[in-house]
A and B are shown apart, each in its own frame.
Chain A
Amino acid sequence: MSKMKGHISNIIQPVFAIFVGLAVGTIAILLAGESVFLTYREMWEGAFGSLYFLSNTLERSIPIILAGLGVAFAFRAGFFNLGAEGQLVMGAVTTAIVTVYLPFQGFLNLVISIGAGMLIAGLLSFFAGWMEQKFQINLLISTLLLNYIAVLFAGYLVSEPFRDTTSSGGVAHSVMVEDASKLPKLLTGMNVHYGFVLAIIITILLAFIIKRTTFGYEVRMLGQNMFFAQYGGINRKKVMFISMLISGMLAGLAGSVEVMGMHYRFIEGALTTPQFAWTGLMAALLANSNPVGTAIIAIFLAALDTGALGVERNTDVPNAISDIIQAVLILFISAKFTMAFIKSKRKRGAK
C-alpha cells in the first residue's frame, strides 16, 4: 500500500516537472509566433517520427543513460559525483588511443580499449574519493574541478602527441578506429549501435545490484543515514571507494561507446558540447537516482534534443526551445533540493 504510494509519488514528480517544462515551452513558442500544436508535432516527429529519427534519439540517449547511471549510483551511496564530464572524456580519449595502438583488431580490441577507458575514468573518480578520505577535500568541489583538468588534458592529447595528422585542419582529433574493432550498428544505415543494448543491460544490472544484493543494501543505507550504516558495521570508506569507482567507470563507458560506436575517433569538444554528462546528471536527479527511471528520463531528454532539431528544421522556432524546457527541469530539481533542505532544517530546529 505505502510502497505503491511511494512508487507513484516517485513517478509523479518527474512527470509533473516535465509537464510544467512543456507548458513553459508553450509560452516560448507563442512568443516566437508559431503554432504550438505544429511545433510540438514537429518535435515529436523529429524525435520519434521515423525509424531514422528514433534511432538518432536512442543513439543520443546512450551516453546520457550511462553517465546518468554513474551519477545515480554514487548518489545512492550519498556521494555527489559532479565529475561525470571529465570521466566521460577521459574514458573516451583513452579508448580512442588504446584501440589504435593495440597490435590486433576485432572484438578483443573493442573490449580491451573500452575496458581501458572505463578503468582510467574509474580511477579519476576514485582519486576524488581518495582525496576526500585522505585530506577531507569536499567531493563536490574535487569532482567538479577535475573536469577541467580531464577535459583540457584530453584536448591536449589529441592536439599534440596523438593528433591525427593525415587529415588537415579543423578540430583536433585522434586517428580513426579500424572497421574491425568498431562497435557495430544495431541496424544498417542507422545511427543507433550496440551501446544501446549495453546501456539497457547495465540499467537492469544496476537496479538488481541496488535492490537485491548485500552491497546494494550497504550503498542504500550509507546514502540514507551514514551514522546508522556505521553503527551497523558498514565500512564507509570501502563502500565509498567502490561506489565512486563504479560511478566513474560508468561515465567512462559513456565516452568509450560513443567513440567506438558513433564518432570512431576522439574529437575535441564532440562529447562536451552536447552536454551528455550534465544531461545524465539531470536524468539521475529527476529520477531520484532510480536506475530504470534514470534510463527512461535520459531517453526523454535525448528526444527533447533531437526533437528540437526537427523543430528548427521545419518551423521558425529555434532549437533553444529544448534548452528552455531543460532549464525548467533544472529549476524543478533545485526546488526539490531546496525544499528537502528547508524541511530538514525545520526538523532540526524542532529538536
Chain B
Amino acid sequence: MLELRGITKKYGEFTANDQIDFSLVKQEIHAIVGENGAGKTTLMRMLYGMEEPTSGDIFVHDKKRKIQSPNDAIGLGIGMVHQHFMLFPSFTIAENVVFHHEPRKKWRYDRKKANQEVEQLAKKFGMEINPNQKISDAPVGVQQRVEILKVLYQGAEIIILDEPTAVLTPLEVKDLLNSLRELVKMGKSIILITHKLNEVMEVADRITVLRDGKVSGSLKKEATDTEELSRLMVGRELQKKQLPKVTSGKAVLDVNQVYVNDSKNKAAVENISVQVHQGEIVGVAGVSGNGQSELIQAITGLVKTSAGKIRINDHDVTNHSVRQIRDRGLSHIPEDRYLWGAAKSASILDNLIMTDYRKSPLAQRGILNKGKIHSYVNNSIKRFDVKASSINTSAQYLSGGNLQKLIAAREIQKDTPLLLAAEPTRGVDIGAMEFIHEQIIEKRNNGDAVLLISSELSEILALSDRVLVMFEGKIVGEFDRENVSEEKLSLLMAGGTYE
C-alpha cells in the first residue's frame, strides 16, 4: 500500500527524521511509537503533505509520489485524524462529515441526502451516531468518530490517527480500538501514532519504534512485548552515580492528595502524594504527558489545584502565588527552558537576576544596583561555566546547554531548601548534562531537598534516592535506590503492572 524509503527531514541544523524506512500493507494496523519529540508527528505531517521531506521517497501503491498538500494526500486515499479535532462546533455531525464534498440539489445543500449518506457510512463501519446532533453537544468520543467518518467519506484507504486516545476516557478508548479493528476488516489500513504501549499491544499488527528521529526497531506484535518496546523507546545507557549516604531529615516538600485539572477540565493529576526530605533526591519517572507538567505547575503556583494540600517546610502554600511560594524557599528549573525558563530577547544579565532582582543587595528600595548586579552575574556565569561573549548578549545566542546552565545557575546557587528540577538536562550536550547533575547532587549533599521530574530514565536512575512512577496522572509505583531497575520502571511507565 504505502512505503517510505530513507525519509529525512531537517529543520536547519536539527534533524527531526533521519533515514526512516516504513511500510504499510493492506488491512493492517501499523503502530508508530516513540517519546514526545522522537519525530512521529513530523513523519506523519510529511505523509499528509503538510511538510516536505528533505530527502527520501514516498511510494503509494508502488508508485513514487510527491505529496505537497493535504489535498494531494486525500487524492491518493490518505486520510488523517488529527490529535486536536478540526470540526465546526456549531455544525451538525453530518454537515461536518460532508464538508467540502457536500451532496447538492442543484446549487443547494442537500441535507436529507447528506444525513442519509452519513448514517449509512456509520452503520457500515459499525459506528453509532446521530447525524443531526451538533458537534458542540457530542461527547469527545463521538467527535472522534466524526473525524474518522470525515476521512472515510473522503474515500480514504489509509487512515492516519495521531495520538487518538490522548483525549479519551478508558471506555471510549475501548470503543475506538474496536472501531479500528472493524475498519481493518472492511479493507482499510491504519497507521496509529501513540506512546501508549498497552494500546499498541492490544490492537497493532506491526510496530515501528522511533527514537531521536531514527527507527530504533521495527517488530511484529507477536515477537515483542511492552518491556522491549519501552526499552527501544527510551533506552539509553545508565551510569549510576555514587551518592554518599546523607541521613535524610524532615520533610521539606509535602504534597498531600493533590488533584489538578488540565485546560479541558479533565483530571490531569489524580490523588498524588509525595514527600521530599532534606538531603534527598526524589525522582518522578514517566513518559511525558502523564500529568508531570500539571504537577510541576501546581507545586510552583502556576496553576491552581482542585483538591489537596501542598506544604513547604510546614507552611501551607496550596494555591499561593508564584512569588509567595518562591519566598518560602522553592527554586525551580522549568521543563521548557525557552517557554518558561528564559526571555530569549533579553540579556544574560536580565535572565540571571529574575529570581533575585527585588532583593538586597541587587536592589534597594526598588532601584536596581548596577554594580552589585554586575558582580553577581559575572560570578554566576563563572561558577556555572556559562560560555558567552558578554553578559549583555541576548539569551537567544546561547546554545541550549549554555542556557540550561544559566537557568541552573539562577536556581541552584540560591541555597533554597527545595529545588524542583524538571527535565533539567533535556536536549543538552553531555558536558552540560554532567555538570548540571553534579550541581544537583551537591545541593542534595548540602542537605537540601530535590524533586527531580524527568522522562529520561537514565537521569532518574543516576540521581534519585527514591523513584516514583507517574502514569496517566497517578503514581503507580515507588522504589528505593537499592531495588529499582530500568525494567521495572519502563514497564510501569508504559502502563503495565508489576508484582
Contacts and interface: CB of A to CB of B under 8 A. Distances in A.
A350 B342 contact: no
Interface in B334-361: 334, 339-347, 350, 353-355, 357-358
How many chain A residues sit at the interface, stated as a range, is 20 to 34
A231 B350 contact: no
B20 interface: no
6 contacts: A2-B392, A2-B393, A3-B392, A228-B339, A228-B340, A231-B341
B219 interface: no
A7 to B, nearest CB: 10
A349 B14 CA distance: 12
A217 interface: yes
A235 B363 CA distance: 18
A235 B389 contact: no
B323 interface: yes
B334 A2 contact: no
How many chain B residues sit at the interface, stated as a range, is 35 or more
Given A1-B390, A228-B354, 6 more contacts: A221-B350, A221-B354, A231-B340, A232-B354, A234-B323, A351-B11
Nearest to A216: B368
Interface string B13-35: 01000000000000000000000
A138 interface: no
A228 B341 contact: yes
Contacts of B347: 3
Interface string B381-421: 00000000110111001000000000000000000000000
Interface string A209-248: 0001111010011001101111111110000000000000
A238 B264 CA distance: 27
Nearest to B14: A350
Contacts of A233: 321-323, 326, 355
Contact of A235 (B11, B321, B366): B321
A225 B344 contact: yes
Contacts of B394: 2, 6
B355 A225 contact: no
B139 interface: no
B389 A1 contact: yes
B244 interface: no
Contacts of A234: 323
Interface of A: 1-3, 6, 212-215, 217, 220-221, 224-225, 227-235, 349-351
Given A2-B389, A233-B326, A221 B366 contact: no
Given A2-B393, A212-B368, A225 B342 contact: yes
Contacts of B366: 213-215
Given A212-B370, A227-B339, A232 B350 contact: no
A232 B355 contact: yes
A349 B321 contact: no
Nearest to B336: A227
Given A3-B392, A221-B350, A349-B11, A230 B358 contact: no
Contacts of B370: 212
A214 B332 contact: no
Given A2-B389, A233-B322, A233-B326, A214 B357 contact: yes
Contacts of A224: 343-346
A230 B302 contact: yes
B223 interface: no
Interface of B: 11-12, 14, 300, 302, 321-323, 326, 332, 334, 339-347, 350, 353-355, 357-358, 363, 366-368, 370, 389-390, 392-394, 397
A225 B300 CA distance: 18
Contacts of B342: 225, 228
A228 B351 CA distance: 9
A225 B342 CA distance: 8
A231 B323 contact: no
Contacts of B332: 231
A212 B389 contact: no
Nearest to A1: B390
Given A220-B346, A221-B350, A350-B14, A232 B322 contact: yes
A235 B325 CA distance: 13
A85 B398 CA distance: 41
B368 A350 contact: no
A350 B15 CA distance: 10
A235 B341 CA distance: 16
A349 B50 CA distance: 11
A228 B368 CA distance: 19
A3 B388 CA distance: 13
Contact of A221 (B14, B323, B334, B346): B346
Contacts of A227: 339-340
Nearest to B334: A231
Contacts of A212: 367-368, 370
A230 to B, nearest CB: 6
Interface centre among B302, B353, B368, B390 (most CB of A within 10 A): B368
Contacts of A221: 343, 346, 350, 354
A224 B354 CA distance: 13
Nearest to A211: B368
Nearest to A224: B343
A28 to B, nearest CB: 37
A213 B322 contact: no
Nearest to B325: A233
Nearest to A215: B366
Given A213-B366, A233-B322, A220 B334 contact: no
Nearest to A3: B392
Contacts of A3: 347, 390, 392
Contact of A217 (B12, B323, B344, B357): B357
A213 B364 CA distance: 9
Contacts of A228: 339-343, 354
Contact of A225 (B343, B357, B358, B367): B343
A112 to B, nearest CB: 27
Nearest to B347: A3
Contacts of B14: 350
Nearest to A231: B340
A343 to B, nearest CB: 11
Contacts of B321: 233, 235
A348 to B, nearest CB: 11
